[in-house]
Chains A and B, each alone.
Chain A
Amino acid sequence: MKFSIVVQAAPYSCQSAETAYRFAKTLLDKGHDLHRVFFYGDGVHTGSALASPPQDEPNIPANWQALAADHDLDLVVCIAAAVRRGVLDDKEAGRYSKSGSNLADGFELSGLGQLADAIAQSDRVVTFGA
């Protein structure tokens, strides 16, 4: 079955951020397809390369990166939600004249059209809310 996942939960604020990752890993382990992960609302902080959790805690952004590398996942961070919260790629950092960018490798900024496309293409869309 083809899934897409919507993550609205901020890492380390909401358990559902960790649950979303575990759900994604499990469905891939079970042989399902993951069409896209769409990070929305506070969930955009998952795409920050600057997150530095203590070593004895899960590194949620790094876990997503590793999963994406293993399974060639499409990790899309909502551009409107991300830019207002200070999660920027090089292009947006340039556009807003910021001193640096912080979008982690493996994630990309894109619009809500990617969520609409995920809805159209997937058998199931599962939301992990805040």
Chain B
Amino acid sequence: MSDKKKVLIINRRAPYGRSNARDSLDVALTCGVFEMPISLLFADDGIFQLLGGHQAKEIGQKNLSANLAALPMYDIDQLFVCESSLNTHGLASDQLDHNPTVVDQKAIQQLIQSHDVVLTF
């Protein structure tokens, strides 16, 4: 494998309605195993992935929040959340788990520009 690409993963879907959130986490963990620098941006309905108190078992799913909590063990600690998505959904950053950095549109542009590859889920 050649040089380490910086990968930004943008999460735009709520955690359990579709498989996107789980698929995204699996990609993040795999890239982490390959020691690629990974950042995660949560935007649109994806910000709901950062809310705590999931009771996923009640709908036959595995708890994604526990997987997110495991990310630092893979050296994945660059978590960002879109400010305007928080506003749209009436949420504040202190309601979220996993300590994401709040970013505005300009910071998101810079985030995308500063990574080699962007994957969207």
Contacts and interface: CB of A to CB of B under 8 A. Distances in A.
Interface of A: 6, 8, 40-42, 80-81, 111-113, 115-117, 119-121, 125, 127, 129-130
Interface of B: 1-5, 7, 18-20, 23, 26-27, 30-31, 33-34, 36, 117, 119-121
B23 A116 contact: no
A59 B1 CA distance: 35
Contact of A115 (B1, B3, B30, B121): B30
A120 B20 contact: no
B36 A120 contact: yes
A119 B18 CA distance: 24
Contacts of B120: 127, 129
A120 B34 contact: yes
Q: Is the interface of A mostly helix, strand, loop or mixed?
A: helix
Given A40-B23, A119-B5, A112 B30 contact: yes
Contact of B20 (A41, A111, A115): A41
A47 B19 CA distance: 18
A34 B61 CA distance: 36
Contacts of A115: 27, 30
Contact of A120 (B1, B27, B121): B1
Contacts of A81: 19, 23
A116 B31 contact: yes
